[in-house]
Structure 1
Amino acid sequence: MYPFKKNVIDSSSSDFTIPRNDSAIFRLSGGIKIPTVSTGELGEFDYANFDAFKDYLKQTYPLIFERTENYLVNGYGLVFILKGSNPTLEPILFLSHMDVVPSGNAQVKNSDEHIFRPDDIPMSSVEEIAKEWDYGPFSGAVANGRIYGRGALDMKGMLFSLLESMTNLIKEDFIPQRDIYLAFGFDEEVGGRRGAVKIAENFKQKGLRFDAVYDEGGVILEKGSVPGVNSDVALIGCAEKGFLSAKIKVRGLGGHSSTPPLESAIGKAAVIMQRLEENQMKPTITPLIQNFFDDIGDAMSFPSKLAIANRWLLKPLLFSQLTKNNSTNALIRTTTALTMMKGSDGTNVLSPEVEFVVNFRLLPGNTIEDVKEHIDKATRGFDVEIEEIDNTREASAISPNDSKAYKMIETGIKNIYPNVLTVPYLTLGGTDAYKYQIVSNNIYRFIPLKINNSEQQSIHSTNEYISIENYMKMIYYFEYIMRNYN
């Protein structure tokens, strides 16, 4: 059992060390070994791996299954309810997902003796190992103070830490005032339409409203990761960007390259792409980002503080600086990314039709309709066909940063990282949290992972791992929130 601090520790204290729990490490390692990969259409899933994962959880966390109300949604979504003593209080909900992205194809640096698998998992699934992995992506290897494998950070680390936290409470016969829900989807990486969407609809049908919903999103960036900020920074996601991908087919004259037209289909497509990149949607400081700057300004140099404090006066200069950096540019505008292109298959063949894909991530305040009008303007004068692909959705609602649910995150962070700066933030990627807007107004995206730029880059990339220190602190953090919400 962890040495729980019932109150927030003094801000002058240093970060504290949580004892290593080898049993908890072993349980996460075993879960990583099961390749619950989601990719493409849901019908292509290897559901045998998801069946094996569910069985593994039942075997590994028997108290959870015995002492909570639990049920399946749409065959694979998992819901657990630890009942509270006061049914008049709105419950709290913690989210995660079972699925992971593919690992890629190449070789592992170290010996394959670190690659393990449950006996009932096909070896062919495990052999999909990615380039430049120190250990197999489904090895669950424990080495160098780390737990390696696909999903260690995204999101099996969070899923298992939630189960560990709830198990600790159950062992103590702890009864919360509010019901505590856990909900685990199985297709977040491909849109969450059969997992999180169905679970949220199930909750709505039951008439549930949650006082807080907690999901992945923001992390704690180590000092130096945020330019100009002399502090570790905890980014608490209070909203997330929307999403629209458009396939634009551009028509022109085809034929042989020996007698080309004055303007080919690919040339017309190039003009449209240039318009999209050079005339992007206008930047704006949303109320959420205004709060972000207000809070982060205290840790910045005097010139930066001055610019932020007088941002309306110095708006052109501020926008000029923010749009030069990829990360800050994404905070203040709907971004435009040209991602795919297809034309002729021959070096001497002019295709009569060229297609490309442009992906927009919508800033709260911009709408799908705004983006469609923007595309129409960029394609004006050309013969085009526009098709929306993937999971088009509006930007999320913005959750308040003065709610009890938000304050609990701040308090939980201060208990493990007393000197960290906490700020409200706009989550740039998509999460399952968006789907739960139908059952809560207080939705926050944050996991207490203190990571550097290299570790952040490993998410969905090679050599993904979670440090044992981070994992131990994550278990502590979620247990703290569950224990102290009331």
Structure 2
Amino acid sequence: MTPTSHVVQASDEVSLRLAAKLAELIRCRTVSRPDRTLEDRAEFTRHVRAMNDLFPAIAGAVEQHTVGITGQLWHWRGAASLKPVVLMAHQDVVPVESEDDWEHPPFEGAIADGRVHGRGALDDKGDLACILEAADSLAATGFVPGQDVYFFFGDCEETAGATAAEAVDFLRERGVPPWLVLDEGGAVASQAFPGVNAPVGVIGVSEKGILDLLLEAEDAGGHASAPPAFGAVQRIARAILRLQRRPFPAGVHPVTQEMLKRLGSTAPGLVRTALRLVARPGRAAGEVLARVGAEPAAMVRTTVAATELQGSDGTNVLARRAAVTLNIRIAVTETVASAVAGVRRRIADPRIRHTVLSATEPSPISPVDCDQFALLEASMRHSHPAALAVPYIMMAATDARFFAAISEHVYRFAPLGMDKAQRGSIHGTNESVAIPELGKGVAFYQYLLRSL
């Protein structure tokens, strides 16, 4: 047997072993809810117990602290504590609308067709299992990391709960400024960028802000048989239309510039030329990207989505009150205040009331030209040699945003390969992870831990 084939066989064995462990974690129905009293607390407790039972070496090597209700913050003492590292994943998952729509029951943890199936396989129990398996296999040999390592496994990430903030407070009170924080977010994506055939390891260096803004209009109401020319519903409809017709300005941020430049370095001729053209700062290139599609547009501007609509309670009753909730993803060049002002300016209707329901500012941008990002690139080369590492600004939100309060180097990347269909299954139906990717994820974290 050649050395290469021996490595492949070892990786296969790790993948298969971890697949069975991940299946056990998926069987724990850790569905988080905005109202936490509606959660099945026994399932969360069972999940924590399973983490201890399935990964006994690392569970026995750390100091375990519970934060929130069942969030876990584990401290693995290293040879030094000058550059502590936080590795993150979350235990909770989103609800399943209809289990009948799934090829394999979402909480069965089925292993079939070379994949582990179930809710959380990608978001985020697959990543969590890779972290623990990497640490467990090292701890079983007596390995001690070069620096202190903290593992944080939140229990309410999907509902933007407070457990991550409590973990940050825990570390701050103990004077722990993380040298590196790594959470979920990006992945090794294929079919993600038109014309780019190589897999791309997208590493989030920031997150857009999130603003839920309620718009309300009031009117006299009355019987629907004599509708007014312009009532509360029409006023809200006009506001939505004005926001659609006048989107926020687009612009290519330096992070997006760097992403496009790196993509262009390996793209074929025409694609390389196109990427170079749009990898320019300013509004002109941003507007070009915004016309390509919804995802490119989200990369270059603040987006506004009308989500929840409210009107009359009866089919023959005019609405005395009409309302719409706007979910706004704020570009890193904006703030919550500027986004609210931008909505007011575009709507231009003093009779519409604006109420901020919840808001989070965009996250600070973590640097790319630093030892921390270089370590992530090296770890990715070890686990996914064909992947190109690129920075990007995340459109979604993670627990990582809380850690920006105590660290300047917060990144978002899960070392699992996903094609377009697999990425689409996150929060959808038929979520699954390829078994070989689990072994690659373990290799990524082992390399990172050994390199500290």
TM-score, structure 2 normalization: 0.94
**C-alpha contact 1:104 1:131 (8 A) present in aligned 2:** no
Distance 1:324 1:172, change over 3 A: same
What's the secondary structure of 1:18's corresponding residue? helix
Q: What are structure 1's unaligned runs of at least 5 residues?
A: 10-14, 106-129
Q: Which amino acid aligns with 1:445?
A: R
**C-alpha contact 1:27 1:60 (8 A) present in aligned 2:** yes
Q: Residue 76 of structure 1: CA displacement? A: 1.5
What's the secondary structure of 1:425's corresponding residue? strand
Q: Which residue of 2 aligns with 1:19?
A: 12
Q: Which residue of 1 aligns with 2:205?
A: 238
**C-alpha contact 1:16 1:416 (8 A) present in aligned 2:** no
Q: Residue 310 of structure 1: CA displacement? A: 4.9
Q: Which residue of 1 aligns with 2:301?
A: 333
Q: Which residue of 2 aligns with 1:168?
A: 137
Q: Which residue of 2 aligns with 1:86?
A: 80
Equivalents in 2 of 1:17, 1:302: separation in Å?
39
Counterpart mapping for 1:209-358 below 5 A: 209-222=177-190, 224-311=191-278, 312=280, 316=284, 319-358=287-326
What do residues 208-241 of structure 1 show as CA deviations (whole Å, max 9, x unaligned)? 011110000111112x431122322111111111
Structure ranking higher in helix proportion? 2
Cα RMSD of the aligned pairs, angstroms, is 2.1
Equivalents in 1 of 2:360, 2:185: separation in Å?
18
Distance 1:313 1:354, change over 3 A: closer
Q: Residue 38 of structure 1: CA displacement? A: 0.5
Equivalents in 2 of 1:269, 1:74: separation in Å?
39
Equivalents in 2 of 1:300, 1:418: separation in Å?
17
Counterpart mapping for 1:63-78 below 5 A: 63-78=57-72
Q: Residue 245 of structure 1: CA displacement? A: 0.9
Equivalents in 2 of 1:438, 1:149: separation in Å?
34
- Match for residue 205 of structure 1 among 163, 169, 173: 173
Distance 1:318 1:439, change over 3 A: closer
Q: Residue 300 of structure 1: CA displacement? A: 3.2
What's the secondary structure of 1:388's corresponding residue? strand
Q: Which residue of 2 aligns with 1:465?
A: 432
Q: Residue 418 of structure 1: CA displacement? A: 1.8
TM-score, structure 1 normalization: 0.87
Q: Which amino acid aligns with 1:275?
A: R
Distance 1:320 1:131, change over 3 A: farther
**C-alpha contact 2:86 2:149 (8 A) present in aligned 1:** yes
Q: Which amino acid aligns with 1:81?
A: H
Q: Which amino acid aligns with 2:437?
A: N
Q: Residue 317 of structure 1: CA displacement? A: 5.8
Q: Which residue of 2 aligns with 1:189?
A: 158
Counterpart mapping for 1:40-79 below 5 A: 40-79=34-73
Q: Which amino acid aligns with 2:330?
A: L
1:363 equivalent in alignment to 2:331: yes
Q: Which residue of 1 aligns with 2:118?
A: 149
Distance 1:335 1:17, change over 3 A: farther
Q: Which residue of 2 aligns with 1:108?
A: none
Identity, in percent, stands at: 29
Q: Residue 28 of structure 1: CA displacement? A: 1.2
Distance 1:302 1:24, change over 3 A: closer
What's the secondary structure of 1:225's corresponding residue? coil
What do residues 369-426 of structure 1 show as CA deviations (whole Å, max 9, x unaligned)? 111101222343342222222x410000000111211111111111132222211111
What's the secondary structure of 1:163's corresponding residue? helix
**C-alpha contact 1:131 1:462 (8 A) present in aligned 2:** no
What's the secondary structure of 1:291's corresponding residue? helix
Q: Residue 301 of structure 1: CA displacement? A: 4.3
**C-alpha contact 1:307 1:314 (8 A) present in aligned 2:** no
Q: Which amino acid aligns with 2:124?
A: M
Q: Which amino acid aligns with 2:349?
A: G
Q: Which amino acid aligns with 1:71?
A: H
Equivalents in 1 of 2:383, 2:68: separation in Å?
37
What's the secondary structure of 1:228's corresponding residue? coil
What do residues 26-62 of structure 1 show as CA deviations (whole Å, max 9, x unaligned)? 2211111010000222232221211121222222222
Q: Which residue of 1 aligns with 2:91?
A: 98
Equivalents in 1 of 2:107, 2:277: separation in Å?
51
Equivalents in 2 of 1:204, 1:324: separation in Å?
43
**C-alpha contact 1:20 1:468 (8 A) present in aligned 2:** no
Equivalents in 2 of 1:471, 1:75: separation in Å?
28
Q: Which amino acid aligns with 1:156?
A: K
What do residues 140-174 of structure 1 show as CA deviations (whole Å, max 9, x unaligned)? 01111111111110111111111111111111111
Equivalents in 2 of 1:317, 1:284: separation in Å?
7
Q: Which residue of 2 aligns with 1:450?
A: 417
Distance 1:63 1:372, change over 3 A: same
Q: Which residue of 2 aligns with 1:437?
A: 404
Deviates more, 1:407-416 or 1:145-154: 407-416
Q: Which amino acid aligns with 2:313?
A: D
Q: Residue 304 of structure 1: CA displacement? A: 4.5
**C-alpha contact 1:338 1:357 (8 A) present in aligned 2:** yes
Deviates more, 1:198-207 or 1:290-299: 290-299
Q: Which amino acid aligns with 1:269?
A: I
Q: Which residue of 2 aligns with 1:36?
A: 30
Q: Residue 438 of structure 1: CA displacement? A: 1.7
What's the secondary structure of 1:354's corresponding residue? strand
**C-alpha contact 2:52 2:59 (8 A) present in aligned 1:** yes
**C-alpha contact 2:76 2:149 (8 A) present in aligned 1:** yes
Q: Residue 20 of structure 1: CA displacement? A: 2.7
1:177 equivalent in alignment to 2:163: no
Equivalents in 2 of 1:24, 1:39: separation in Å?
28
Q: Which residue of 2 aligns with 1:118?
A: none
Distance 1:382 1:438, change over 3 A: closer
Distance 1:321 1:95, change over 3 A: closer
Distance 1:370 1:172, change over 3 A: same
- Match for residue 377 of structure 2 among 393, 401, 410: 410
Q: Which residue of 1 aligns with 2:108?
A: 139
The count of corresponding residues between Structure 1 and Structure 2 is 446
Q: Which residue of 2 aligns with 1:401?
A: 368
Distance 1:26 1:230, change over 3 A: closer
What's the secondary structure of 1:20's corresponding residue? helix
